[in-house]
Each structure stands twice: as structure tokens, then as C-alpha cells.
Structure 1
Amino acid sequence: MKISIQKDVSKKRIVMIVYVLAMFMAALDATITNVALPSIGATFQVPPAATGAINVGYLVSLAMFLPVSGWLGDRFGTKRVFLFSLMTFTIASLLCAVAPNLFMLNVFRVIQGAGGGLLTPVGMAILFRTFSPAERPKIARMLVLPIAVAPALGPIVGGILVDSLSWRWIFYINLPIGLLAIFIGLLFLHEHVEEKPGRFDIKGFLLSVPGFSMLIYALTQGASKGWNAPEVVITGVIGLILMVVLCVVEWNTSEPMLNLRLFKDPVFRNMCMISFCSAAALFGMLYVFPLMYQNALQASATDTGLTTFPEALGLMLSSQMLPHSLKRLGVKRLMIVSLIGSIVVFTLIAISVSANPWFIRFLMFNVGIFLGHAVGAVQATAFHNISLSSMGRATTLFQVQNRLGSVVGVAILASVMGVMEGQVGSQQIDLMTYQWSLFGSAIFLSLALVVAINLKQLDTVPTKAMPVKAPAKAN
């Protein structure tokens, strides 16, 4: 019996290690690229605006493959699909590093985005099938590495690599991480294939691919090219129409690719809403703050990275505190306290950004503390009532809304900056422009707070392992 328990613990640790390595690599790649764009433009002798496609192509490709990941994992096996996506991402990283021109670099980034779109939901399905609801608050201590530390390290590591070596090393750095995760996964991960994965939802796929890609493209390009630009209007309107049709089709399909009926579960639905708003607030702030600190306050890229990095330290500390906080306060009270604290801190950052840098770093640290508790509670609670058979579809749906939330947050706050910059021009007012955008992040958090206040039956979390539910139909 003791040997069996030890084997079970070892298996869970291995799953955690593989997941953290893979997600750390993907999350690091998401932010490390930005600081290298000027250097890439100089290498290929193209204007700065031309390098924007490097990130846009990645995001669009990722959005295209996210919705289908759950069905692929159920049909072909989560281990097989996870390792395939991990290999795709790693090989594409190598190809990006050796790209001979900008066109090929963009092509390889699209392939990398395809791997990333499959990687996250399938990896999360493996993780939450392995750990019971009672164990999930504890694993937040490790999940903080890909969620918080990797994105915060991205600009710092990217700056060092670009300045010391070359922009190509921002892709080479993925190779040892990816190869290690592939090696461990091949040896130790166990396969999970659903007995009845359902037929491939061809209607949902044909609607989601152009719908998600066009909508993401419009949201990412609207602020820079103008929301009235023909290509933005056309792609945005068509993408939105396709998304609405997709929702209607998926709701009425017996075996949908995106199982929207999972939103009938109030816990999952409310946690997704809070996650959407929190992602919009956090990624919007992390987009606006570096621009403001460098453009309006004339700080260097290194100083900016060091000023935002305490947010990751706060998230690391909050991950250690989360199990105790959940047990002491319960989900609802913890959500309310952490979101109120986040709103206060975001507001203080907006109104006192020109204060002593160490005070701003202190505020960033508290962003990690407060928002880290909210995000951690969402991760630990969202899938509490989801059966194992529906886990793949649930993690896919969760990742889709989370990705949309981050893009919507950046798009709206970037648009606020664009509108304000068109009206004013002095240096002091320019700072005010960024400050108004930061207030937008606090508004997103206020929306999440409204949802948290109306939570029901979430005042406690299980402290003992719960029996696994019998698999239920994904519909």
C-alpha cells in the first residue's frame, strides 16, 4: 500500500514537472519576443511596423488551434497530442532562430502558434485529471512559474540575450526546455483516450478557424491601424458574426467542439467570467505600463523590466499563501478581498506612477499578492464540478476565454491611448494619457468584483480528497 501511494505521488510530480516546463517555455516566449523586434527589424532591414506581424501571426495561429485541442486530446490521446504540440513548438523555435528572412520567420511563428494553441489546454487537461479538486490549491505553488514568473522574466532575459548575443537566442533558449519536457513526457506520462470522444464537429471547426483568427487580428491591429481602417472593420465584423453563429451552432450541437453547455455549471461559468476580466486587466496593465515608463518617464528598458518584475515576486509569494488563505477565508471572501486590493493597487499605480521607483515596485509587488490570490483561486476552483470525461473540453473553453480576455484588455487600453493621444500632445498630458489607460485596468477588475460578490455556495473548499465522479457525457 505504501509503495502504491509513493508511485502515485511520483507520477503526479512528473506530470507537474512536464506541465510546468512546457508552460514556462510557452509563457516566456509570449513576452520575450517584444524586446527583440527592433533588432529583428535591423537584421532584415525592414521598418519597425513590419515586425508587428511576428506577434500577430503567432496570436492568430494560436487562436485558430485552441478550440480544436480538446477534441484532439480526447480522440487521439492527451499524451500523444501534448507531446506532438510540444515537439511542434520546440522545432518551430529552432526554425525561427535560423530564419533567413522576415517572411520565413513569420511562417515559423505561425507554426509555433499552432503548437502553442494545442499545448496549453491539453496540458491543463492532463494536470487536472491527475490532481483531485482537494489537491488543486496546493499545486498553485508550482503553477505560478509559468503563469507569473516566465512572463515577467521574458523582457529581462530577452533584453540580456539581444544585447549580449543576438535576437536569435530568444528562440534558441526554448530548445533545452522543450527537449527536457519531451524526454520526461515520453518516459513517464500516461495516455488518456476518451472511449466516446464524439464525432469531429466540422461545422464548429469551419466557423471557429476564420472566426477566431479574424477577431483576434482585428483586436490586435485596431489600435495601431485605426478602428475605421477597412481591413480592421472587415475582419472584425466578419469575425464577430462568425463567432455569434459559432455560439448558436455549438449550443445546439449534440457533440460540439466547444461545449458551451459547460457554462451551465455556475462555478465554472463565474470563474471563467472572473478569469476573463482579470486577464484583461493584468495583460492590459502589463502592456501599458512599460510604454508609459519608457515613453513618458524616459526610463530604460532594463529599468522598466526591473520595475515590473516585483509583480512576479508577489505572485510567487501569493501562491505559497493560497492554500492557507482559501482554507481560512473560503473562495468567495478571498475573491472579494483580493479583487478589492487589486483595484486599489492598480489605481495607486495610475495616480502615482511618477513617484519614487521603489514605491512603484512596492505597488507592483502588491499587484502580485492580491491578483495572484484571485487568479489562483480561479485555477483551483473553476473545474471543481467538471467530470473527468469533460475535462478536455472544459480546459479548452477556459483557455479560449482567457486568451480572448487578454487580447480584449490590450486592445481596449491601447485604443484609449490612441484616442487620448489624438486629443493632446504635451509631455505631462501624455503621461495622463497612459494613466487613463491604467484606470481601464481597474475597471476590468471592478467587473470581476461584481461577479465575485454574487458568487454562491463557494465559501469553503474541500480539505479532504473527494471521490472522483463517474465520467459524464461531454454534452
Structure 2
Amino acid sequence: MKKRVSVKFAVCAVYVLAMFMSALDSTIVNVALPAIGGTFHVPPEAMGTINIGYLISLAMFLPAAGWMGDRFGTKRVFLSAISIFTIASVLCGFAHNMFTLNVYRILQGIGAGFITPVGMAILFRTFTHEERPKLSRMLIIPIALAPALGPIIGGFLVDTISWRWIFFINIPIGLLALFIGKLYLQEHVEPTAGAFDYKGFILSLTGFSLSIYALTQGTVKGWTSPEIIVTGCLGLVLMVLLVRLELREDKPMIDVRLFKDPMFRSMSFIGLCSAAGLLGMLYVFPLMYQNALNVSAFHTGLTTFIEALGLMVASQLMPWTLKKMGLRRLLIFSLIGTIIVFMLISLFVASNPWLLRFLMFGIGFFLGQTVGAAQISAFKNIDSPSMGRATMLFNMQNRLGAVLGVAILSGVLGTSNTSAGEPVNLLTYQYALFGASIFLIVACLIAVRINKTTENDPTLHMNLVEKAE
């Protein structure tokens, strides 16, 4: 019994360490972008590639993670993912130009893409169904703290040592996770893993990569450039082929047939737009605050850190607000609130920093309820055999939404006259923040169109509240 308890504790420890490292990396880099750009002499509109490459590789390897864990063993794949992430972090810290840093960030994204789904599978196989609710409430705190602490830790390291230490900080965390995992994790191989959908994987990887490349480089190389036209058109063609292929597959890697369910479709696109708006804002704001207003990286981190606190408060209040307001009204209310806060930040960015921190808290508070309500309601009509593919597709869309937000707002920053060596001015950054709010407006329009009959279904309402609580 004692050994069993120690194994459960070890599984939790490894999972938290791996997720903490991955989640920390999602926010710690943003405050370091101006410093990295200064080191490699790269303009602000080109800095988005540091996040885009990471997010694309993370999203593209999510579908492959579940199959590889079942086929080759969850312990082997999980520890390999942590190793890849840790080694890539070391390489990022030693990168000598923008190209190598982007390559190493892509490698980091591959490791992160395997950590979450395989780690969750290990966790669910270790704990019973009855133990999981209590487990989730315990694990949410350290995992939620990582993105909250990222901007502060990153700002401190950038100001006092070097931006390279935002990557080196992953080394002790990764090594500790590997040590505990090697000793305590149990191997599990699924005999019915089936064949890997390699055609869908290749088409999705190349199609999305080429499309995002054209989107991010269009403002730099010109939208009429043959390179941009060819890569953009080829990417779109490959994505169309991907959809046609997956519709014919019995067990597709990306099950696009799930979008036939109106609730899953609506909540998925709301999640995508919300991720695009939030991650786009978190990309633009640190660049604007440091480059245009000359605020230090540490104080920029202190300001953006408050957004994560708002998210944590929203996660606790969302069951109550969902019960009181209902799904449709909660989504509309929280999205309109976020849109207003986005616009206020863009207008008053040069004002008192405490006002900005209050507005950042508002973003986390409002958008956190949007994301939480969308996530628990998306799977209302999804049956058990399709649940794994549905959760993967939902998470993948959120990651791609983040890529879309960063890519498009990078393009907005690229419209300024940086070709003559002039820095991006404050007004251009403000336009970019307004652009981030457009994603949320689209999400709000989708929420308005949610079928009122479905939303008022008492069975649905009761089930959603039970899931939220």
C-alpha cells in the first residue's frame, strides 16, 4: 500500500513538473522578445516567428502523441518528450542567430506536443474515476501558477542576467522530472493501437506550416512575392486535401466529422477565436510596453502577470456564473467584457501602470469564463468512443488559434515603415491591439447565434453546471 501511494505521488510530481515547465515556457518568452530582437537585430514584426514555430509544432504533434504513447509505451514516450523539451531549451539558450533559435523552438514545441496528452493518459491510468475530481482540484494550482509566474521570472532574468536564462531555467526542472519518472513511472503499451494515419499527419504538418509561413512573411517579403503566393496557395491546397482525406478515413487522425455537431462546432470556433485574441494580445503588449514606452522587462512581467490571476479567479467563479446566467448569456457577457477591456488597454496603454494591471485582471476574469464555459460545453453531444479525438481536435484548434493571432498581429506590426530602419511607433501597436479584439468580436457573433432552444434545455444546463463544479 505504501509503495502504491508513493507511486501515485511520484506520477503527480512528474506530471506537475513537466506541465509546469511547458506552461512556464508559454509565457516566459513574451517579455524577452525585445531583448532577443536587440541581440539578433530583428525588428518587432519578425519576432512572432519565435512563438509561431513553437505553437505550430506543438499543435501538429498533438494528434500523433496519443497513438505513439499507445504504440511504443507511455513511459518511454513521456520521458522522451521531457528529454526533447529540456535539450531543446539548452539549445535555445545557446542559439547564435534567429534562424537557429526558431529551429530549436520548433524542437521544443515537438516535446511539448507530446507532454500534455501522454502525461494525462498516465495520470488517468494511475488514478480511478472517483479519485480524479479531487486530483484535478489539487493539480490545477501549480499548473496554473506557471503561466502566471512566467512574465515575472522572465522579466527578472532578462533585466538581471540575460534572456538566455529563460530557457536555461528549464534544465533543473526537466532533469528532476526525468529522475523521478525513470524510477517510478510504469510502462503501458496498448495492443490495439492500430495503424498510424501518416498521410493525414504529413498533409496537416505541411499544409498548416506553409499557410502560416505565407501569413507571417507576407508583410516582410511582400504579398505579391512569388514565394508568398506559391507557399500560401500550396498550403491551402494541402489543407483541402487533408479534409477530403480525413472524411474518407475510418479512424482519421483529425476527425473533421465532429464539426457536424452544432455545439462542438460553435464552442470550438469560440475557443479558437478566444485563443487568437488572448495570445495575440500577450504577444503585442510586451513589445509595445518595452519598445514604445521604454518599460523594463521585469515591470512588463509584473503587469502581464495580473492577467493570469484573473484567469484563476474566473475558473473558481465560472460554475456559479454559468448557473446564474446560462451558457449563451455568459459567453456573450464575458466576450463583450473582454472586448471593452482590450480597447481600453489600447487607448490607455501610456497611463498609470496600476490601471493597466487592473485591466489585465479584467481580461483574465472575463476571458477565463469564456474559455471555461466553452470547454465544458463543447463535448455535450460527443459519445465516449469519439471523446479522445474530440478533445485532441479542440486542443489543437486552440493552439492553432494562438498561432493565427500571433501571425496576423505580426503582420499588422509589419505595416509600419520599418524598412527605413524606423522603429514601430505606439500607434501601430495600438492598431494591433484593436486587431486582437476583432477575434473576440467574431467569437461573440458565434455565441449570439447559439440555438436558444438548445441553450435553454434544462438537461443541458444541469449537466454543464455539474461538469463545471
The verdict on how the C-alpha distance between 1:136 and 1:349 changes in structure 2, with shifts beyond 3 A counting, is farther
Q: Is the 8 A contact 1:345 1:366 kept in 2?
A: yes
Return the match for 1:281 from 277, 280, 293: 277
Verify: 1:210 aligned to 2:212, yes or no: no
Match in the other structure for 2:297 = 301
Return the match for 1:461 from 449, 457, 463: 463
Match in the other structure for 2:233 = 237
Match in the other structure for 1:48 = 42
CA deviation vs aligned residue, 1:283-311 (integer Å, no higher than 9, x gap)? 11112222333344343333322222211
The verdict on how the C-alpha distance between 1:381 and 1:33 changes in structure 2, with shifts beyond 3 A counting, is same
Q: Is the 8 A contact 2:31 2:287 kept in 1?
A: no
Q: Is the 8 A contact 2:62 2:396 kept in 1?
A: yes
Return the match for 1:444 from 436, 439, 444: 439
The verdict on how the C-alpha distance between 1:140 and 1:238 changes in structure 2, with shifts beyond 3 A counting, is farther
The verdict on how the C-alpha distance between 1:106 and 1:311 changes in structure 2, with shifts beyond 3 A counting, is closer
Q: Residues of 2 paired with 1:229 and 1:141: CA distance?
A: 52
Match in the other structure for 2:153 = 157
Q: Residues of 1 paired with 2:302 and 2:185: CA distance?
A: 37
Q: Residues of 1 paired with 2:195 and 2:166: CA distance?
A: 40
Q: Residues of 1 paired with 2:211 and 2:70: CA distance?
A: 27
Deviates more, 1:325-334 or 1:173-182: 325-334
Deviates more, 1:122-131 or 1:354-363: 122-131
Q: Is the 8 A contact 1:158 1:170 kept in 2?
A: yes
CA deviation vs aligned residue, 1:303-349 (integer Å, no higher than 9, x gap)? 32222221111112222223433444443333232222212222222
Q: Calculate the TM-score normalised by the size of structure 2.
A: 0.81
Q: Residues of 1 paired with 2:464 and 2:12: CA distance?
A: 21
Verify: 1:350 aligned to 2:337, yes or no: no
Q: Secondary structure at the match of 2:462?
A: coil
Return the match for 1:368 from 350, 360, 364: 364
Verify: 1:114 aligned to 2:116, yes or no: no
The aligned amino acid for 2:249 is T
Q: Residues of 2 paired with 1:133 and 1:264: CA distance?
A: 32
Shift in Å at residue 242 of structure 1?
0.7
Verify: 1:271 aligned to 2:267, yes or no: yes
The aligned amino acid for 2:444 is L
Verify: 1:176 aligned to 2:176, yes or no: no
CA deviation vs aligned residue, 1:239-271 (integer Å, no higher than 9, x gap)? 121111101111111121112223334443222
Once the two structures are superposed, the pairs formed by residues 376-387 of structure 1 within 5 Å of their partners are: 376-386=372-382
The aligned amino acid for 1:398 is F
The verdict on how the C-alpha distance between 1:407 and 1:224 changes in structure 2, with shifts beyond 3 A counting, is farther
Aligned residue pair count: 455
Match in the other structure for 1:325 = 321
The verdict on how the C-alpha distance between 1:36 and 1:336 changes in structure 2, with shifts beyond 3 A counting, is closer
Once the two structures are superposed, the pairs formed by residues 251-266 of structure 1 within 5 Å of their partners are: 251-266=247-262
Deviates more, 1:95-104 or 1:453-462: 95-104
CA deviation vs aligned residue, 1:370-420 (integer Å, no higher than 9, x gap)? 111112223334345545554443333123211211111122223334346
Verify: 1:219 aligned to 2:215, yes or no: yes
Q: Is the 8 A contact 2:290 2:296 kept in 1?
A: yes
The verdict on how the C-alpha distance between 1:261 and 1:20 changes in structure 2, with shifts beyond 3 A counting, is farther
Q: Residues of 2 paired with 1:308 and 1:355: CA distance?
A: 15
The aligned amino acid for 2:429 is Y
Q: Secondary structure at the match of 2:71?
A: helix
Shift in Å at residue 39 of structure 1?
5.7
The verdict on how the C-alpha distance between 1:136 and 1:220 changes in structure 2, with shifts beyond 3 A counting, is farther
Structure 2 unaligned runs (5+)? Answer: none
Shift in Å at residue 89 of structure 1?
1.1
Q: Residues of 2 paired with 1:16 and 1:286: CA distance?
A: 30
CA deviation vs aligned residue, 1:210-260 (integer Å, no higher than 9, x gap)? 112222333333344443444333222211211111011111111211122
The verdict on how the C-alpha distance between 1:325 and 1:194 changes in structure 2, with shifts beyond 3 A counting, is farther
Shift in Å at residue 198 of structure 1?
3.0
The aligned amino acid for 1:283 is L
CA deviation vs aligned residue, 1:99-125 (integer Å, no higher than 9, x gap)? 677776555434322212222343455
The aligned amino acid for 2:42 is P
Q: Is the 8 A contact 1:24 1:150 kept in 2?
A: yes
Match in the other structure for 1:406 = 402
The verdict on how the C-alpha distance between 1:82 and 1:391 changes in structure 2, with shifts beyond 3 A counting, is farther
Q: Calculate the TM-score normalised by the size of structure 1.
A: 0.80
Q: Secondary structure at the match of 1:299?
A: coil
Once the two structures are superposed, the pairs formed by residues 429-440 of structure 1 within 5 Å of their partners are: 430-440=425-435
Structure 1 unaligned runs (5+)? Answer: 467-475
The aligned amino acid for 1:442 is S
Match in the other structure for 2:333 = 337
Return the match for 2:286 from 266, 290, 313: 290
Q: Is the 8 A contact 2:55 2:403 kept in 1?
A: no
Q: Residues of 2 paired with 1:160 and 1:440: CA distance?
A: 29
Shift in Å at residue 363 of structure 1?
1.0
